[in-house]
Amino acid sequence: MAYENKNFGDNRNESLYSKRIKAGKRRTYFFDVRSTRGNDYFITITESKKRFDDNGYDRHKMFLYKEDFNKFVNALTETVNYVKTDLMPDFDFDAFNHDNESDESMPAAAAVNNAEEGNVDDWKI
């Protein structure tokens, strides 16, 4: 699910764009584009894991700034390719491509209104 937030009000802490990746039953990754007060942009990558006692979520956040975008993408691609080609060449990585099509077609308003479907920063811990 990805959405674009057209509300560019004074609250610069909101996501301008968000992409959610569900990974298993308890893990979700969020890729959010945010802006600074100086109208610059950066990406936050958040891993959110539901606690085993079903009492909230543990979140880990990473900030990625524009000057590091290319280095980050290159290093990630190189690392993933190393695992795929050198360490696990016979493994079928495509077997895990089971994205739920309904996630991609969910309207942004519905996603924002539902805490589990919306931006991770909207979740209450």
Distance CA 88, CA 86 (A): 6
Q: What is the pLDDT of residue 40?
A: 94
Q: What is the pLDDT of residue 110?
A: 37
34-62 confidence digits (pLDDT tens) = 999 998 999 999 999 988 887 889 999 99
Backbone CA torsion sign across 14, 17, 21, 22 = positive
Structure tokens at 19: 């992409």
Output phi, psi for 69, to 5 deg: -50, -55
Could you list the residue range(s) of the whole structural domain that residue 27 is in? 2-122
Task: Fill in the amino acid letter for 39.
Answer: N
**pTM for this predicted structure:** 0.65
Report which of 61, 27, 22 is spatially closest to residue 44, judged by C-alpha positions.
61
> Domain count of the chain?
1
What is the CATH number for 53? 3.10.450.700
pLDDT at 78: 98
